[in-house]
């Protein structure tokens, strides 16, 4: 089953029920920690915080089995 964040639903399909809130989950994290959450809409696999308390999202690169951390503001537009 696909999961979608509150933020993706608000932007793309406001009538769709969402599965988790990125900001709420990030608020529970300490700096330099992450938690696995998949948002099919935005395409990320984890929510994290940098040492500066910035929210970041892990975007997988399936071609070379790596991931890139991108800022919340870069993904959620």
Residue 2: per-residue pLDDT: 80
Spatial separation of the C-alpha atoms in residues 23 and 28, rounded to whole Å: 9
Closest by CA position to 51, among listed 36, 29, 21: 29
Residue 59: per-residue pLDDT: 97
Domain locations in the chain as residue ranges: 6-75
Residue 34: per-residue pLDDT: 98
Closest by CA position to 33, among listed 6, 53, 59: 53
Residue 1: per-residue pLDDT: 63
Q: What confidence tens digit (pLDDT) does each residue in 5-58 have? A: 999 999 999 999 999 999 999 999 999 999 999 999 999 999 999 999 999 999
């Amino acid at each position: 089953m696909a999961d979608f964040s509150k933020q993706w639903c608000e932007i793309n399909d406001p009538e769709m029920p969402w599965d988790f809130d990125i900001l709420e989950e990030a608020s529970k994290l300490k700096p330099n920690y992450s938690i696995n959450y998949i948002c099919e809409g935005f395409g990320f696999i984890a929510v994290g915080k940098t040492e500066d308390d910035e929210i970041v999202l892990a975007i997988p690169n399936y071609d070379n089995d790596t991931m890139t951390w991108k800022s919340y503001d870069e993904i959620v537009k």
